[in-house]
Chains A and B, each alone.
Chain A
Amino acid sequence: MRPRAEGYSERLERVALSPLAKTGRGYKLFVLFLAAVVGWGLYAYVTQLRFGLVTTGMRDQVMWGLYLVNFVFFIGISHAGTLISAILRVTHAGWRTPVTRMAEMITVVAISIGALMPIIDLGRPDRVLNMVLFGRFQSPLLWDILSIASYLTGSLIYLYLPLIPDIALMRDRLGRGASIIQRKIYTWLAVGWRNTPEQRHRLEKAIGIMAVTIIPIAVSVHTVVSYVFSMLLRPGWNSTVFGIYFVIGAIFSGIASILIVMAIFRKLYHLEEYITERHFRNLSYLLLVSLLVYFYLTVGEYLTTGYKMEIEDKHLLELLLVGKDAFLFWFFVVAGMVIPAVLIIVRRGPAIPRILVAAVLVNVAMWIKRFVIIIPSLKVPLMPFEFGAYTPTWVEWSITGAAFAAFILIFAIFAKVMPLLSIWEVAEGEETGAAHATEASALAERTGLSPGEVEAAVERLARERGRPQQT
């Protein structure tokens, strides 16, 4: 241990671990409230099981509803995590360290909730077993099962690996009051971590493999989710661009989700020192890039469809642009693309609230966009009959509410048992930064540069050597 970094890392530990030690009244009430919402959702689900899918708004024409919207949405924000944290890790973006843990957690929780949605969508959930026993691999649904199972397992591993040193830290910091079981669990999970060079080597190798592996898997997951739609000859779904369209959409809403979670825990856990405006700014630029790509793909998609304008496409575009679903569509365009872009580009006012508003708008609009993708396409009749209709029932809204509540609930509980900052990685980054600072000040002394220029030099050095130094 370097004595200079001591003060910093002690404070870091205190800040990162203190929320785990004390549990406030507000937190308990909040958890209780979330549990109540989830309970209400369970009641709604039992109602659906008892009376069948007739309790939902889904009928023979519009046979997919909110559940599938939630499915795509949650699988989408699950990309936040693993994909973004893996990309930042592979590209050695040094500023990522305080953000990755939250991002990976979003992934694991979101994908778990998302994977439940198609099962809830079934009138006979017990028949899911048939997919395992008699699944036909020609079906995109089976591809979904394969890729989501792979992604969930991979994200769990990828979340767990960087946790090991932090769990070891918690194991060592357990007070006298800790029960034997608690001690045992932390010891098990910490895998005998003592931070020796050999252990570090093993761990870093494992993390390196996972970071590279998880990227194509994450991409494949959302591609396959899009195939559930684009393998069908329906207006609006019959598209070759759907794979990448969904992947970009997922990254888009995923980054927005990270921004929201970051803002919340920064405030609640007093992480201002570690999650700085810079993190928000950098992520908002990533958000802007994905927004622009998504915008480009959206324009391309509707332009090519509208140019050829087969009769069903005409019906669909009429629904979207001027018809019954026009409000939702234009809400997506304005609130999900135009306003967030303006908020990010025009840098007026305090940065964090501005970016947070953009992120919330993006997530709301992206949920609606999934609705716009799924429902209107089903409304368009493929035979000369009237248009289908879909109005979600209280059962569907309740289960949707419960899904979001469950997402927050699991997150809240997780944030109580594991540190939300990757302590060791942040500390490592700081050590590297401090080393650079020493170098830079030595440089400043020799060259006689101003402090501002020294700071810039530190930044540059940190960027150039973004990868944490090996011990």
Chain B
Amino acid sequence: MNRLRLGTLRMMFDSMSETRKRKMKVRFSSISLRALAAVLPVLFVVILASAVFAQEEVPPPYGGLKNPFSWDDVSAQEAGRKIYQQSCVGCHGLKGDSLPQSNFSGADFRRNLEEKADYYFWVLSEGRLNKGMPPYKASLSDEKRWQLLTFLRSLSGAPAQAEKSPVPPPVSAEGGQLSLGVPARAAAGQDLALTAVLEDADGRPVSATMVKFFAKVSFFGNSLMEIGEAETDAQGKAVLTYTPRFSGDVQIVARYGGLETAAPLALEDASRPFYRVEVGIDLPAPGPEVLVGTRTALDLGEQNFAPATALRLPGGVLSWLLIVAATLALIWFTYSRVAYQMFRIPRASDIRDTNTRLVPTVAMLFVLAMGVLLLLMLLTGPHSHLHALP
């Protein structure tokens, strides 16, 4: 089950379009945000209301609809399972029990679903936006929505599925014990060591075995986010060095096979930025690498959220701020040169009462003033300052 849940998160990420992934990689670099990003495109919340809403009248065109698939249609269930993993699992959880108000695993859900399929189909299609459940009629066809409901029925009251781990746990760990040690003090941005000890039923250490570590993150529902894995040594100890990028109280979970253990970890806020936004290409440059932007662009936001994106540029004269500034200066210099040509148009000797050079003079002054103003606007803006990167 655990592997499955993790795999789902992965799959969701893999199934995203390339563009979206790229976008995400740029925008979010902290792990918590990446998990958020993985859940985002997939959908938020499927809150199928149970008893309370079941009394509601189902409006047309949904009223009286019947599931075209047999509830026990395995291929429909399988198709539904895929959709569920892509679109629902983020909020409802693998077993459908993450949200108490719409618990798909309860026995009464199966009965309700069979009796009022049209009601559930309606909620799935139109959503319950006030509860966080988006409508799916635009993104899923009728057939797919019914397949999804067919799958949901199989969740409820079904006999607990056996753990389907591709690597069967070695006999020695069965009935054993997994313990997890976390440091007493830790802060976001600082390396910390998570230690899990795996022992078999007789208290002997289990070596050369991969233990996975998770953090419980909260996004609509709670879900586990993998933060890494480590191999146990001869003492059965698996140590993961980990740099949290978020702060607050989190639950760290270590897992091996059917064994699971959790420990609370309080993470303090970071006192300084400890990672930089990966934006731009690390170009080779003669000078030091600079950041174009305010110093505050390096500060972390609330809850250590990534700072606003800032361009990372090669230092010195290669900076494209300077290229833009040079182009601008060239344009306005040309204008003032043209204005000067106007100014140099020789005076007519017979016009004495009017200063014929007034217009060219004004033009020249205006062009120069505008040029300087635009240049200053470009160069003195708070985001145009160059800072060496930490």
Cα A194 to Cα B321 with chains together (Å): 45
B283 CB-CB contact with A under 8 Å: no
Cα A145 to Cα B381 with chains together (Å): 14
Partner of B383, one of A136, A202, A238, A385: A136
Contact yes or no, A209 B337, CB < 8 A: yes
Contact yes or no, A383 B370, CB < 8 A: no
Residue of A nearest to B367 (CB): A153
Q: Which residues from chain B contact A187 at a C-beta distance below 8 Å?
A: 351, 354, 356
Q: 1/0 contact trace for B128-143 toward A, CB 8 Å?
A: 0000001110110000
Partner of A136, one of B339, B374, B382: B382
Contact yes or no, B374 A149, CB < 8 A: yes
Summed over the interface, the residue pairs from A and B with CB atoms below 8 Å come to a total of 132
Cα A138 to Cα B280 with chains together (Å): 12
- Max chain B C-beta neighbours (<10 A), residue from A133, A146, A161: A146
Contact yes or no, A153 B370, CB < 8 A: yes
B331 CB-CB contact with A under 8 Å: yes
Contact yes or no, B360 A136, CB < 8 A: no
Cα A135 to Cα B43 with chains together (Å): 36
A273 CB-CB contact with B under 8 Å: no
Q: Which of B166-174, B203-211, B341-349 contacts A (4 or more CB under 8 A)?
A: B341-349
Q: Which residues from chain A contact B351 at a C-beta distance below 8 Å?
A: 187, 192
Contact yes or no, B348 A238, CB < 8 A: no
B384 CB-CB contact with A under 8 Å: yes
B334 CB-CB contact with A under 8 Å: yes
Q: How many residues on the A side are at the interface (Cβ–Cβ under 8 A)?
A: 47
B292 CB-CB contact with A under 8 Å: yes
A64 CB-CB contact with B under 8 Å: no
Contact yes or no, A161 B138, CB < 8 A: no
Partner of B346, one of A192, A238, A387: A192
Within A119-156, which residues are at the interface with B (CB < 8 Å)?
132-138, 142-143, 145-146, 149-150, 153-154
Partner of A157, one of B134, B310, B363, B374: B363
Cα A143 to Cα B327 with chains together (Å): 12
Looking at chain A's contact residues, is the secondary structure mostly helix, strand, loop, or mixed? helix
Contact yes or no, B338 A191, CB < 8 A: no
Cα A196 to Cα B345 with chains together (Å): 10
Partner of A198, one of B136, B346, B358, B373: B346
Within B97-137, which residues are at the interface with A (CB < 8 Å)?
134-136
Contact yes or no, B381 A150, CB < 8 A: no
Q: Which residues from chain B contact A133 at a C-beta distance below 8 Å?
A: 381
Contact yes or no, A150 B382, CB < 8 A: no
Q: Which residues from chain A contact B17 at a C-beta distance below 8 Å?
A: 310-311
B295 CB-CB contact with A under 8 Å: no
- Can you offer 25 A-B residue contacts whose CB atoms are under 8 A? A135-B378, A136-B293, A137-B324, A138-B293, A142-B378, A146-B378, A150-B331, A150-B332, A153-B335, A157-B367, A161-B338, A184-B354, A187-B356, A189-B359, A192-B356, A196-B346, A206-B338, A209-B341, A213-B331, A233-B23, A384-B43, A384-B44, A384-B87, A386-B135, A386-B138
A190 CB-CB contact with B under 8 Å: yes
Contact yes or no, B19 A136, CB < 8 A: no
A217 CB-CB contact with B under 8 Å: yes
Within A197-249, which residues are at the interface with B (CB < 8 Å)?
198-199, 202-203, 205-206, 209-210, 213, 217, 233, 238
* Distance from A418 Cβ to chain B, minimum over Cβ atoms (Å): 14
Q: 1/0 contact trace for B351-390 toward A, CB 8 Å?
A: 1001111111001000100100110011001111000000
A193 CB-CB contact with B under 8 Å: yes
* Distance from A316 Cβ to chain B, minimum over Cβ atoms (Å): 13
- Max chain A C-beta neighbours (<10 A), residue from B44, B331, B374: B331
Contact yes or no, B345 A157, CB < 8 A: no
Contact yes or no, B384 A137, CB < 8 A: yes
* Distance from B19 Cβ to chain A, minimum over Cβ atoms (Å): 6
Residue of B nearest to A139 (CB): B383
Contact yes or no, B356 A188, CB < 8 A: yes
Cα A136 to Cα B359 with chains together (Å): 34
Partner of B134, one of A188, A192, A384: A384
* Distance from B237 Cβ to chain A, minimum over Cβ atoms (Å): 43
Q: Which residues from chain B contact A196 at a C-beta distance below 8 Å?
A: 346
Contact yes or no, B19 A135, CB < 8 A: no
Q: A150-B332, A191-B359, A192-B346 are in contact. Are A209 and B374 (CB under 8 A)?
A: no
Q: 1/0 contact trace for B304-327 toward A, CB 8 Å?
A: 000000110000000001001000
Contact yes or no, A190 B356, CB < 8 A: yes
Residue of A nearest to B309 (CB): A138
* Distance from B26 Cβ to chain A, minimum over Cβ atoms (Å): 10
Residue of B nearest to A238 (CB): B19
Cα A138 to Cα B324 with chains together (Å): 11
Partner of A137, one of B134, B350, B355, B383: B383
Q: Which residues from chain A contact B345 at a C-beta distance below 8 Å?
A: 164, 191-193, 199, 202-203
Partner of B377, one of A135, A188, A206: A135
Within A6-40, which residues are at the interface with B (CB < 8 Å)?
none
